[in-house]
Amino acid sequence: LFLALPAAPRTRLRPTLPIALGAFGATVLPLMLYFVANPAAAMSRISTVGGLTGGGPRELVSTLVRESALVAGAFTGFTGDPLLRHNIPGRAPFTPIPALLVGLGVAVAGWTILRRGRTTRGAWTLLLWLALLCVPAILAAEDNPHFTRLFGALPAALLLAGYPPAWFIANRPRRPGQVQTAWMGGATLAFLLLVDGLLSGRAYFDDWAKRDLYPWYQGDYWEIGEFATAHGDGLTVVPVLDDAYSLEYAFPQNARLDVRAADPALETQLQSHMVPGGLLAVALWDEGVEKAADARGTVTFYAAREGAELEPVAYRRNTLHPYQLGDTPQFTAPGQSVAVVQDFGPSGALASSAPTVPPVTLAGVRWGSAFPNADRSAADLAAGTALWAILTWDVHAPNPALRVATELVDGDGRQIAPSDEWLWPEMLPGMLPVADPTAGNRVNTYHLLQVPVTQPPGPATLRVKLYDDTTLQPLPPIGQDGKVTVDLATATIVPPLSTPQIADVMPSNAVAGEQAAAFSSAVTILGSDSLPATLEPGSTLVVRLLLQMPAMTPSPSSPTETALTLAMPDADLVAAIPLPTGSAPGQIIHLFARLPIPPTLSPVRYPVALGAGSGRILPLGEVLIDGRPYLAEAPAIAYPVVAQVADHLTLLGVDSPVPLEVRPGEPLPVTLVWQVEQSEPRNLIRFVHVLKDDPTLTSQDALVAQEDTTPCRGTCPSRGWRRGEVLLDEAGVLMPADAPPGDYRLAVGWYDAATGTRLPIHDAAGQRLPDDLLVLPLPVVVTTEGP
């Protein structure tokens, strides 16, 4: 710009040139020093001149024209910077009124140059200034209009926007009518600019600053730093990605620890930095790429294992979870170690298509008792505390749908505590992978299983199961004889460290104090959970009771009941409820009382009561026996047939008239007799096909009629099956009204309602049937003769 001036102005400005150059040098010196120390960064900036690289002359011209139009649109109100941190997304820096003034200013400057007016030099200077300082953005050809590259051109654009009012003032009208019109036009322009300024101020300083700039300028990191500084007597742990921002520049030496959750030295880091008995706060990201910094919840797992969680502190993009550590945190505790190598993979009908390498291998287990138990490596844990477990997996074929379900079960197989985690959470939508999900990866899953404070003393087994979250189907352990879970270890539940308040554990169906104390000399009955409204014949009534053991052990001479009973007096049904051993004096425990319901019990309402050995009765409520009866044995079958449907059902045969004759338009009177082998969480559909008796046709071409339905006319949904029960499944398939007389065949099969996939069917010899379709040995004759 200095060199573009005529000789006389250059001479007058020459004394100021050293000052300008000095100011420029002082401005760019820090940046130059940074580039000297980081030459790679300098080269990366130089290499951003994308408009001059790649393609031939035609592509180069096309690129420069396109980028020039984008840059021009920034000053004429048509295009906005696509980068959110630079500006409101898509918003041009000049709104319509200022953009109109800029356009008029360029026109006035051009007209002045053509007319060689007295301000020609100023017009040349502004246009050259604007054009020259737009060149870097045009040559970069990246994210245009790139505002930070256009900052130098902004003053020229603002001065050009002032050109039209300046020209108007210089050539203002003299006549009274024209003066009044000019004043009205000026006032209107000022009003429009004022309104536009207020709206722009709100958009920038309220909406944009609060909504969009917060994540771009690390407002969440700043809040974490302030929290860590305010709680200097503890430790704030921040799971970060490898390229995460650091708070050292603003919060040096505060009580903050940035960690990589997958770092093998994480336990040692936490142990060396924690404050015994102090506060440990963990930052969990709720949105953004930082969610993947601890996708497995590793840091939270260790914090919860070693302390008691306090009230979380919620910020905009993250939540700080504080934990009060115990006096002797044991982050590096080895725990109980289980040597295990267990493969999980397809089985049964899918085994033939399984890969030679199993998709998942359980390669190791560490477990123990969590805070406030004294020893993290102990096999005993108090009721009301948690068992921790770290499972190590070799993932040969990563699957984002696989989940790891662990559970503690008591001696009766009843679940005490569950824990369910993703096997590969980094592969979930919205996650930025922190590890390459390829074959051969070794990963950990972290589990805390909270034992109820009322859990009776006794052994508890730790189990694990893999399943597909989309289908809910288990990935069975190979070599476990059809089991879907693997037993890993046995812990011992001991009495709680402190007796809970009765009000905190009181069930919904509480018992009055006097009645509770007087009911039994062995225990105090505090209450029970509400009874189910209805039960099906053949099911089991399960009632959760809450009891309190005696405060003192009875003397040998004191008679006490050794058992309680659960009864339906009107049905003459009674089941004993043995009391547990090993409980502490005054301990509050829960028990599950079970009363089997006969399949033949009449469908009416029955009172349910609790009984004591002394003959006292405590009413608990009523239960309605209703629903389809449970059939344990199959009736006589006209056509015995044996076929296996996956692992779920066995076809015992078909019951129908002999011979089976039907007229067109009538239903086929056929009853399929099935026996349930195992319960089924999916919604399964049974289909019956009527086929032409022509062996040359495919099953699809031979199809004449079909029925797809829930079995037993909709009354036997698969999710309600009970192992061992017999289903009498009446088919209602209709023959078409135009079906010609002759012989037909009947075929049956099953499919998953969610996926449409047929279940595999094997015959009595174990051979899988084509199309998973069983053709029944039942001749069907369509006749036009009357009955």
DSSP string, 186-240: HHHHHHHHHHHHHHHHHIIIIIIHHHTHHHHTTHHHHHHHHHHHHTTTSEEEEE-
Angle between helices 176-202 and 96-115 (to 10 degrees): 130
Domains 336-494 and 513-554+561-625 share a fold: yes
- Confidence check: pLDDT of 438 > 60: no
- Residue 424 near residue 437, CB atoms below 8 Å: yes
- Residue 493 near residue 555, CB atoms below 8 Å: no
- Confidence check: pLDDT of 440 > 80: no
- H helices, E strands: number in the chain: 17, 36
What is the rounded average pLDDT for all residues in the chain? 83
State the pLDDT at residue 5: 73
780 or 205, higher pLDDT: 780
Angle between helices 154-161 and 120-132 (to 10 degrees): 140
The distance of Cα 672 from the centroid of its chain, to the nearest Å, equals 42
284 or 347, higher pLDDT: 284
**Cα torsion at 528, 531, 535, 537 (round to 10°)?**
40
- Give residue 349's pLDDT band: very low, low, confident or very high (50, 70, 90): very low
DSSP letter (8 states) at residue 102: H
- Give residue 177's pLDDT band: very low, low, confident or very high (50, 70, 90): low
State the pLDDT at residue 373: 96
State the CATH architecture for 513-554+561-625: Sandwich (2.60)
At 222-242, the pLDDT tens digits run: 778 888 888 888 888 888 877
What's the token pair of residue 168? Answer: 């108007």
**Could you give the CA distance from residue 582 to residue 492 in angstroms, rounded to a whole number?**
11
Highest-scoring range by mean pLDDT, 18-32, 368-382, 644-658, 683-697: 368-382
Q: Is the overall model pTM greater than 0.85, yes or no?
A: no
Average the pLDDT over each of 204-208, 460-464, 609-613 and give the range with the smallest value.
204-208
State the pLDDT at residue 635: 84
What's the token pair of residue 294? Answer: 């601890």
Number of other CB atoms surrounding residue 101 within 10 Å? 21
**Could you give the CA distance from residue 371 to residue 302 in angstroms, rounded to a whole number?**
10
**Could you give the CA distance from residue 330 to residue 692 in angstroms, rounded to a whole number?**
73
Average pLDDT of span 562-577: 88
State the pLDDT at residue 307: 95
Average pLDDT of span 661-680: 88
Closest by Cα among 238, 220, 236, 225 to 293: 238
The distance of Cα 135 from the centroid of its chain, to the nearest Å, equals 47
Q: 630 to each of 137, 645, 648, 722, 725, how far by Cα in Å?
A: 79, 21, 17, 9, 6
Average pLDDT of span 420-445: 71
Residue 370 three-state SS:
coil
Angle between helices 154-161 and 96-115 (to 10 degrees): 80
At 644-667, the pLDDT tens digits run: 998 889 999 888 877 788 889 888
Highest-scoring range by mean pLDDT, 253-262, 380-389, 440-449, 606-615: 380-389
- Give residue 74's pLDDT band: very low, low, confident or very high (50, 70, 90): confident
- Residue 744 near residue 780, CB atoms below 8 Å: yes
Number of other CB atoms surrounding residue 457 within 10 Å? 20
At 91-150, the pLDDT tens digits run: 777 888 888 888 888 888 888 888 876 667 778 888 888 888 888 888 888 778 887 788
The domain 336-494 is placed in CATH, from the list 2.60.40.770, 2.60.40.1930, 3.30.360.10, 3.40.50.150, at 2.60.40.770
- Confidence check: pLDDT of 288 > 50: yes
- Residue 548 near residue 588, CB atoms below 8 Å: yes
Average pLDDT of span 740-753: 90
- Strands 573-578 and 534-535, how do they pair? unpaired
- Confidence check: pLDDT of 353 > 50: no
State the pLDDT at residue 43: 61
Average the pLDDT over each of 264-268, 289-293, 367-371 and give the range with the smallest value.
289-293
Cβ-based neighbours of 629, under 8 Å, separated by 6 or more: 536, 537, 538, 599, 600
> Is 387 exposed, middle or buried, given 0-12, 13-18 or 19+ CB atoms closer than 10 A?
buried
State the pLDDT at residue 559: 45
- Give residue 515's pLDDT band: very low, low, confident or very high (50, 70, 90): low
State the pLDDT at residue 350: 40
First and final C-alpha spacing in the chain: 109
Q: 377 to each of 45, 271, 330, 333, 389, how far by Cα in Å?
A: 54, 16, 9, 6, 11
Buried residues in 429-447 as b, exposed as e (16+ CB within 10 A): eebeebeeeeeeeebbbbb
Q: Which strand (E) or helix (H) includes residue 728?
A: strand 726-731
At 303-342, the pLDDT tens digits run: 999 999 999 998 877 899 999 999 999 999 999 999 999 9
Average pLDDT of span 367-383: 96
183 or 19, higher pLDDT: 19
- Give residue 681's pLDDT band: very low, low, confident or very high (50, 70, 90): confident
State the pLDDT at residue 79: 82
What's the token pair of residue 252? Answer: 């040096």
Domain 639-782 class, CATH top level: mainly beta
Domain ranges of the chain: 7-211, 233-325, 336-494, 513-554+561-625, 639-782
At 182-231, the pLDDT tens digits run: 677 778 878 888 888 888 887 777 767 666 655 555 667 777 888 888 88
Highest-scoring range by mean pLDDT, 436-440, 520-524, 552-556, 600-604: 600-604
Buried residues in 716-729 as b, exposed as e (16+ CB within 10 A): bebeebeeebbbbb
Sheet with 509-510, side-by-side order of all strands: 509-510, 524-528, 540-548, 588-596
Cβ-based neighbours of 104, under 8 Å, separated by 6 or more: 163, 164
Average the pLDDT over each of 48-52, 549-553, 577-581, 729-733 and give the range with the smallest value.
48-52
- Give residue 176's pLDDT band: very low, low, confident or very high (50, 70, 90): low
At 291-307, the pLDDT tens digits run: 888 889 999 999 999 99
Q: 460 to each of 369, 484, 579, how far by Cα in Å?
A: 12, 18, 17
Percentage of the chain exceeding pLDDT 90: 28
**Could you give the CA distance from residue 361 to residue 175 in angstroms, rounded to a whole number?**
95
State the pLDDT at residue 205: 76
Highest-scoring range by mean pLDDT, 120-124, 288-292, 415-419: 415-419
Q: Which strand (E) or helix (H) includes residue 108?
A: helix 96-115
Closest by Cα among 372, 368, 370 to 462: 368
Q: Which strand (E) or helix (H) includes residue 381?
A: strand 380-382
What's the token pair of residue 534? Answer: 């209805």
- Residue 316 near residue 219, CB atoms below 8 Å: yes
- Confidence check: pLDDT of 561 > 70: no
Q: In 497-539, which ranges are E strands?
A: 509-510, 524-528, 534-535
- Residue 267 near residue 353, CB atoms below 8 Å: no
At 467-507, the pLDDT tens digits run: 988 878 788 898 877 688 999 999 999 999 998 888 888 87
Q: 502 to each of 526, 579, 588, 589, how far by Cα in Å?
A: 8, 20, 8, 11
- Give residue 55's pLDDT band: very low, low, confident or very high (50, 70, 90): low
- Residue 351 near residue 323, CB atoms below 8 Å: no
DSSP letter (8 states) at residue 149: G
